[in-house]
Every structure is written in structure tokens, then in C-alpha cells.
Amino acid sequence: MAWKTMDDVALAGKTVLTRVDINVPMEGDKVTDTTRIDKIKPTVEDIIARGGKVVLLAHFGRPKGKIVPEMSLRHVQPALEASLGRKVVFVERPDRAMIDALPSDAVVLVENTRFTDMEEANDPRMAQFLASMGDMFCNDAFSAAHRAHASTEGIAHLLPSFAGRLMEEELRALEAALGTPQRPVVAVVGGAKVSTKLELLGNLVTKVDHLVIGGGMANTFLVAQGVEVGKSLAERDMGPMALDILAKAKAAGCTIHLPVDIVVAREFKAGAASEVLPVAACPADAMILDAGPATVTELTRVFEACKTLIWNGPLGAFEITPFDAATTAAAQVAAHLTREGKLISVAGGGDTVSALHQAGAAGDFTFISTAGGAFLEWMEGKILPGVAALGG
């Protein structure tokens, strides 16, 4: 997919409407985690260094088209000023004359784009209004790129548009993992349910050389193949879909890896008695809550044989020990291989990211996407409207 970056455009004297993700967590009026704010700094600094003026557009929370005072971006302004080390002028409603009158290195922060329902409806009047405030559009919010909203997609058709540094970094990492990857490629897909990841599995089997299926969704595949899984989480009605994925994989030359051994317990709670069994030996009154050590050994061999890894979904119920063991061990293998320069590793998904942090492996991965829904839709092979609109 073609998209422009900051290197393709001249910014001197231009007012750049810059869509960012500063949807930070707050307690009272204090920002508790400034990660998202800190990450937009390279883009803001780059625009200013090249003579452009920055006008930030962002959503904050889910006000659903109404003005909700607690969700005003004015609460974020102090943290933004502290992180950027610059004056940030907050405006409820932007005004072109007022923006033009500001010094070129002032940063303007516009009120929550979702305070009107025209944003999520991608109403052309809102896109028009926003576009009239500047000369160019920079999208640095990959995490919002799967939604065609006025400030992410509509506006991009009205102004010369390009990706910000953060968006560029994310797109390059994802492109390196699934677009034109170094082969062989292994994908790990885990988590709770097949039904939420059918499109993902269907897309991956046509693109990767190895697909590791773990977590609760592996149970669904086992049941589909006639293996008993006792009281495990499994979607018994998804059998035909699972078999269809397996057939599709075979036709595409993608090797599927399911657990060869399992960790079972009678209760899902910390310290519950658990045992390791061969995959076909789950007792009728037990639940499979993790993959066993023989499975981890097999995954280690697969990871060692591959050059690229893309991972979404934990291999077990990692929130409770000892059922985090397979996820933690596999994550550490991937981290080690990445550190040694033998593997390109990309991961994303809310629970996946927390599992990798819990395993102490996140820092060594080549790229960790915090984009949630946008990351998944991209992995599913969907075109992200916010990215597609940066092509022209």
C-alpha cells in the first residue's frame, strides 16, 4: 500500500493538522501513564523543526457525540506541555485567524473530536471544517486508522496527507512482518475463542509458513479433530470452521502446530492443583488451561527455524500462575532469538502485550503494537481506511 511520510513533503510555513492518539488513562485530573503522549513527540518536533505549525486533533474516551466535561482534552493539556516542553494552546473550537496569529512554534490542541457525532459518522461538513483550519494533514494515530472518521479519513481526502513518524514506524514494522517478510514466517495465534479470530486465521494460513494455534482456541481445533477436552473452554459448534481452516492451510502449504501436551486443572484459580498430560488424555472433569513443556519445545524448534514471528493471543490462561508457563517460556525464546539477531518479532493485542510484559520479554521484541483493534484488523488483511487515505 502506498502512503506518504514526512520525508515526502515540504512543511515550511504550513499549518499541519495532526491526528494523534493521546487517549491516556487518568485518575481524577492526573494522567497516570504518559506513554501515548510521549510517543507523538518525534512527529511534533519534526514538523516544528521544518517550519510547520502543529494543530493536534484527537479523541479522548467515548463521549458518543456529546459534550462530556470529564472527557475534555483540556485535562490532558498540562501533561502534553510537560512532555513536549512547549506551550500548548487548548481551543474548544478552532479558528483559522487565531491559529494564524500564533507564533509558528506554538502547538494548538483542539477539543475532543468525538464531542460531535459528525466525527464517527465521517460527516463531510466536519471534515471540511477541520480541513479549513490548516494546509496539510498528518496522521500519526495508527490505533484509530481502522475507523473511517472525519478526523482520520474524511479530512485526508481534502488536504495533502502523510503519515507521522509513529504511524510510519508501525506501518514499516507490520509490513516487515506480513507484507514482504523474511521467510520462513511463523504466526502464533492464541486467546480464548476461535469465533473472534476466524478472519485472522483465514488470512494467516495463506501468508505464513507455520501457524501455531494455542489457548482456548486450540481446544476448538482438538474437538473438531475428535479429541476430547473435558470441561475446557471450547466452541463445539465451530468444528466445521476449524476443519475448513485446516484444509485451507494444507492447500496453502502452511504447517499447523497444535499442542502436543496440555496442563489441566479442575479449578481455574491461583494455586489450583494441575498436571501435565498428553494432548489426548484430558480427564472428563478437567479443563485445559495451558500448553505443556513438550509443546514449548516444539515451538522453540519452529521459532529457531523461522526468520519472522508475528504473535497475537496467549497460549494459555496466563493471568493465573502456573497457566502462564507456556506463554512465558515461548515469549522468552522469541525474545532471546530476537536479541541474537536471528528473528524479527512483532506482537500485538491487549492481553498479548500484557503477557509479554509479564514475561519480561516485551523489551526485546522487534516491535510491540499497542494499537489493539487496528493491529488485529491489519493482521486480518483488511485495508485500514485511515492508512489508505494517505495514498494521494
Residue ranges with strand state E in 267-384 = 274-278, 287-291, 308-312, 344-348, 367-369
Q: Which of 350, 360, 363, 391 binds Mg ion (CB under 5 A)?
A: 350
User: Which one of 36, 39, 114, 147 is the catalytic residue?
Assistant: 36
Size of the site for ligand ADP (CB under 6 A): 18
193 has catalytic annotation: yes
User: Which one of 41, 193, 266, 339 is the catalytic residue?
Assistant: 193
User: Which one of 350, 360, 363, 392 is the catalytic residue?
Assistant: 350
C-alpha grid cell, residue 201: 486465521
Span of 187-195, 202-210, 223-231, 329-337 interacting with ligand ADP by CB under 6 A? 187-195
Span of 66-74, 109-117, 154-162, 306-314 interacting with ligand ADP by CB under 6 A? 306-314
Measured CA to CA, the distance from residue 260 to residue 291 in angstroms comes to 8
* Residue 128: closest CA among 105, 155, 91, 152: 155
> Could you tell me which residues are beta bridge partners of residue 162?
138
143 binds ligand ADP (CB under 6 A): no
Measured CA to CA, the distance from residue 185 to residue 100 in angstroms comes to 50
Q: How far is the CB of 385 from ligand ADP (least distance, A)?
A: 21
Instruction: Count CB-CB contacts under 10 A for residue 376.
Output: 21
Q: How far is the CB of 225 from ligand ADP (least distance, A)?
A: 16
| 124 upstream amide cis, omega within 30 of 0 | no
356 binds ligand ADP (CB under 6 A): no
Span of 101-109, 179-187, 242-250, 313-321 interacting with ligand ADP by CB under 6 A? 313-321
Q: Which of 258, 317, 326, 329 binds ligand ADP (CB under 6 A)?
A: 317
Q: How far is the CB of 330 from ligand ADP (least distance, A)?
A: 13
Measured CA to CA, the distance from residue 61 to residue 49 in angstroms comes to 31
String marking each residue 225-264 x if it binds ligand ADP according to CB under 6 A: --------x-------------------------------
Measured CA to CA, the distance from residue 224 to residue 141 in angstroms comes to 40
8 class by beta-carbon count within 10 Å (0-12 exposed, 13-18 middle, 19+ buried): exposed
154 binds ligand ADP (CB under 6 A): no
62 has catalytic annotation: no
373 has catalytic annotation: yes
Q: Decide whether 181 or 316 has the Cβ nearer to ligand ADP.
A: 316
154 binds, among Mg ion, ligand ADP, none (CB under 5 to 8 A by kind): none
Biggest distance spanned by C-alpha atoms of the chain: 74
51 has catalytic annotation: no
The set of catalytic residues is: 36, 193, 350, 373
Residues of this chain that bind ligand ADP (CB under 6 A): 190-192, 215-216, 233, 288-289, 312-314, 316-317, 319, 349-352
